[in-house]
Structure 1
Amino acid sequence: MRVGIIAGTDIYDIPGIQLEAKTVETSYGPALLHVGQGEAENLVFLMRHGPRHTVPPHHINYRANLKAMHKLGVRAIVAAYAVGSIHRALPPLSVAVLDDFLDFTSDRPRSFYEGGASGLAHTIMSPPYCPTLRERLLACAPSCGLTPAPHATYVCTNGPRFETPGEIRMFRQLGGDVVGMTGAQEATLARELGIHFAGVAFSVNWAAGIEETINIVQDGIADLRSRLLSLFLKTLSELDGFSCHCEDAVLFTHYPRDEDGHDRN
């Protein structure tokens, strides 16, 4: 089974694994992926902000990235998210296996099904993350030196600016636990493609207004990053099937019809 890892801030390689850059052309534009070599040939790695972290969250080509991974045969993805903590129970350097999200982004493509030639469909996002992958992440975490929170709601904002204290108060009242700028589109697009997807958040700061100033944690991040990658590799290597409905979550798919009334897909 071909599997994938998506990462952003603070994660730009996978120690111990040789990766080869591969540009994959899609109908949404090119995507730069890194494919494992040798015994890791079933692994595809994506740096969502690019190798030099030059692509801001609101300019990431999410559809090209996910479509390219799907095109290479990726069936399961684990994604890492550097976040700010809204909930006091998740201080900086905490880890959480996400189980829900709130999407407050705007002006971003959210779907492969935009009507017209691309068709129209409605996708089940309950639960938003693959239950099988979440279960395996939580089971593998202790052996990687991690004790992640088993539940957390990710609030996705546009960026690249940080949120205001008032926005964070609103997000907290709505049930948000952590805040980031990239997670909602990746989870949604993966589900539309039938890819099993899970997200793991690691906190690097308190969200705006929780403390007097926003201080990005530096000490301990390198060790945390190493543990997260170990967790991802262990989880993906031990997958032996899925007991979920991620692959059949797209409903009511309609495509334009030709003159004879046949779908054009």
Structure 2
Amino acid sequence: MLAIIGGSGLTQLSNMENVRREVARTPFGEPSAALTFGRMCEAPVVFLARHGHGHTIPPHKVNYRANIWALKQAKVEGIVSVASVGSIRADWPPGTLVVPNQIIDYTWGRESSFFDGVDTPVRHVDFTRPYDEALRQRLLCAATVAGDSAFDGGVYAAAQGPRLETAAEIDRFERDGAELVGMTAMPEAVLARELELPYAAINVVVNYAAGRSSSEHGIHFDDIEVVLQESMVRVRAVLECLCRV
């Protein structure tokens, strides 16, 4: 069974059938929302709204540990993250889909490990390749089958939020090698790695990052909403095909 974590613009999966919801309890508190179990293209899936069903939980307040633990308890075989991002690259305009392959973490103060409690042995995990390659390739294949396209690879800068970045911060991210900026890949990705759950993401570019192109003088939130609505229709189609490949 595959898990799908939905971010901004994807608080539910309208193309799921035989839906039932289950409230999960974990040693790390409650997840962002009840787990939604169902089927997509005859394949079993479970959906979790990262920011809550009403999109009320900001990125730095998401209980990432509870979310990932709950999915592990549900015995999922892998996790696909759907997240909106800003583009640092001029050739990735709004509406671009990207399946990233690297992360640079700029977040702070978030609970980022299951193994940091009192008398809990420290566990180091290899994070050289933060996204599972097999699941990445399945996502890319699904995009092709859906008649769409997604860029293979991209460096995701995980910013703290909830505010958007300054133009100078985006300049710094670019110097560091980042191509996309979002707020939720960390610690979500590393927590999945700690529990040995394959994890990959499909990122939806909804705006140019601060100081770039049409965002040179500011971010236009009305435009973001339009791109989100149009792009998430495409993402749902990709997810349907993912359940078939």
Which digits, 9 at most, give the CA deviation of each residue in 1:76-123, with x for residues without a partner? 111111011111121111110010011100010111111534321110
Which digits, 9 at most, give the CA deviation of each residue in 1:58-77, with x for residues without a partner? 11000000000000101111
**Is the CA contact (8 Å cut-off) linking 1:20 and 1:37 kept in structure 2?**
no
Report the equivalent of 2:159: 157
Q: Given residue 16 of structure 1, which amino acid in structure 2 is its aligned partner?
A: N
Q: Given residue 26 of structure 1, which amino acid in structure 2 is its aligned partner?
A: T
* Identity score, percent: 34
> Is residue 232 of structure 1 aligned with residue 239 of structure 2?
yes
Report the equivalent of 2:7: 8
Report the equivalent of 1:64: 66
- Secondary structure of residue in 2 paired with 1:221: helix
CA gap 1:74/1:93 in 2 versus in 1, 3 angstroms = same
**Is the CA contact (8 Å cut-off) linking 2:2 and 2:44 kept in structure 1?**
yes
Report the equivalent of 1:91: 93
CA distance in 2, matches of 1:45, 1:197: 14
| TM superposition shift of 1:34 | 1.1
CA gap 1:68/1:166 in 2 versus in 1, 3 angstroms = same
Gaps of 5+ in 2: none
1:58-137 superposed matches below 5 A: 58-137=60-139
Report the equivalent of 1:244: none
Q: Given residue 6 of structure 1, which amino acid in structure 2 is its aligned partner?
A: I
- Secondary structure of residue in 1 paired with 2:207: strand
Report the equivalent of 1:212: 217
- Secondary structure of residue in 2 paired with 1:184: helix
Report the equivalent of 1:253: none
CA distance in 1, matches of 2:160, 2:237: 30
- Secondary structure of residue in 1 paired with 2:21: strand
Q: Which has more radius of gyration?
A: 1
Aligned residues: 237
CA distance in 1, matches of 2:99, 2:111: 25
> TM-score normalised to the size of structure 1?
0.85
Gaps of 5+ in 1: 239-265
Report the equivalent of 2:29: 29
| TM superposition shift of 1:40 | 5.4
CA distance in 1, matches of 2:244, 2:38: 13
- Secondary structure of residue in 2 paired with 1:29: coil
Tell me which moved more, 8-17 or 102-111. 8-17
CA gap 1:127/1:20 in 2 versus in 1, 3 angstroms = same
Which digits, 9 at most, give the CA deviation of each residue in 1:164-220, with x for residues without a partner? 111000000101111111112111111111111101111111111112221233334
